[in-house]
Amino acid sequence: MKVLVTGGAGFIGSHVVDAYLEDGYEVVIVDDLSTGRLANINPGAKFIQMDICDPRLSEVFERERPDYVNHHAAQMDVRRSMVEPLFDAQVNVVGSLNLLECSRKYAVKRFVYISTGGAVYGEPEYLPCDEAHPIQPICPYGASKHTVEHYLYMYAFNYSLEYTVLRYPNVYGPRQDPYGEAGVVAIFSGQMLKEEQVVINGDGEQRRDFVYVGDCARANLLALTVPHPSGIFNLGSGRGTTVNAIFCELKAITGYSRDAQHGPEKLGETRTIYLDARKAREELSWAPQVGLREGLELTVEYFRLNEILD
């Protein structure tokens, strides 16, 4: 069986590629390397450098004939979506539609779509958020990612394209960009290992649902191996952890000597969010297995050994 993975050179996507290859799948990666890295690409996969908005994507489907599509490629920076909402929609909505059309034309069996549990719900009416929680995003990123969920339902209804939506929590772990604008664990780890000043946006009491990347990769494998009806699934731990708590844990792990400084809050970011993943447990047999402290230690060790931190 062959899986086409978009964004397979990225942080999470590359771990998903590894999981598929280890389970015996043939994998084709489509990534434009705008944020992904060549170093993340598993040599066992076939790599095609291409933007998902490119009309030549249909030629890739014609040639490769994937059985499944796993769609990780996205504009995923909340802050950039606030500044460039048109770009956000072009990548996340139009690019996804390009993939859906190719999947329809070339009889893909199942489309695994990565959505966001951290941004589609907005400021929660209740916690933890389950899949029935009202959708009320407060940033273009959350709106664009949710829009594609509607298209998936339509393609299933009209063309019988089976789909699995995985709404991610705050995913962290090895290969996350420590120099980017997203991913507080990676950013803090990189700064602490270099003894640079860590700045926390706002008061640090924002609460997030942190799940280790290996656990999310396993969910993507289960999406293809466990029979289930088309639908939407939260991934999460069911509990929130403050940014201040993450800082303290990482400070202890790295031996960082400074206190954090606090800067202004970022527009469009949800204050508190954590997710109810009971549906994923019941229908996909998924639950997180890596505890927060263990995951943070694995992440720091990766950055200590693999990133250039001088």
* Alpha-carbon dihedral sign for residues 23, 24, 25, 28: positive
Within 13 A of 20's CA, how many CA atoms are on the CB side?
A: 31
Question: Is 153 considered catalytic here?
Answer: no
Catalytic site residue from 141, 163, 168, 256: 141
E-only strand ranges, the chain: 2-6, 26-31, 46-49, 68-71, 110-116, 162-168, 170-172, 199-201, 207-208, 210-212, 231-234, 241-242, 261-263
Alpha-carbon gap, residue 34 to 114, rounded angstroms: 18
Residue 99 and residue 48: Cα distance in Å, rounded?
15
Q: Which residues, 6+ apart, have CB-to-CB distance to 304 below 8 Å?
A: 193
- 80 conformational bin, left if phi > 0, alpha if psi -120 to 50, beta if neither: alpha
Beta bridge partners of residue 242, listed in sequence order: 207
Q: Identify any residues that bridge with 272 across adjacent strands, giving them in sequence order.
A: 207
How far is the C-alpha of 237 from the C-alpha of 129, rounded, in Å?
A: 11
CB 142 within 8 A of CB 210: no
In sign, the C-alpha dihedral spanning 73, 26, 156, 56 is positive
Residues assigned a catalytic role? 141
